[in-house]
Amino acid sequence: MNMLQETPAIYVVLHQISEDALQQLFWGMEEEGIPFRISTSAENDLRSEAHQAASLSPLAVGIACNPGEIVLHTRNLSPDTPLFHLILKDQEQDRQLRHLGCNAARLVKGLPFKPL
């Protein structure tokens, strides 16, 4: 067994958005007890980025986001068919992000999703 193996995590790809803007997303995953790993990308094809992140993630779940939208994908779906694709609305953004973070973790755990 390789002791240097990475901890299984949901992979999150950021495109022109700060980690601070997504704190609710991260708290949602933490709330459910699932770790995440953050990277940045210059690409703006969120579906493709989220699917690639899911394909690389040991947990088979990936998220990609920019300032106006966020995509949650799983390795088992077609790259053009994400599980969730949300347009972020200012008045609901914190709730949307928190629930999407929870839902990403619940996908890993096999639990029912929270409403978005």
Question: Rounded distance, CA 46 to CA 58, Å?
Answer: 20
Does residue 7 sit within a domain? no
Does residue 115 sit within a domain? no
* Model confidence band, residue 5 (pLDDT cutoffs 50, 70, 90): low
pLDDT in tens, 90-100: 888 999 999 99
Does residue 8 sit within a domain? no
Does residue 3 sit within a domain? no
Does residue 48 sit within a domain? yes
Region 63-87: mean pLDDT is 97
Give pLDDT, residue 10: 98
Count of structural domains within the chain: 1
Does residue 4 sit within a domain? no
Does residue 114 sit within a domain? no
Does residue 67 sit within a domain? yes
CATH, residue 82: 3.40.50.10150
* Residue 1 clears pLDDT 50, i.e. is over it: no
Give pLDDT, residue 90: 85
Region 49-76: mean pLDDT is 97
- Residue 98, token pair as written in the block: 């928190």
Q: What's the domain range around 85?
A: 16-106
H-type alpha helices, 7-92: 23-31, 46-56
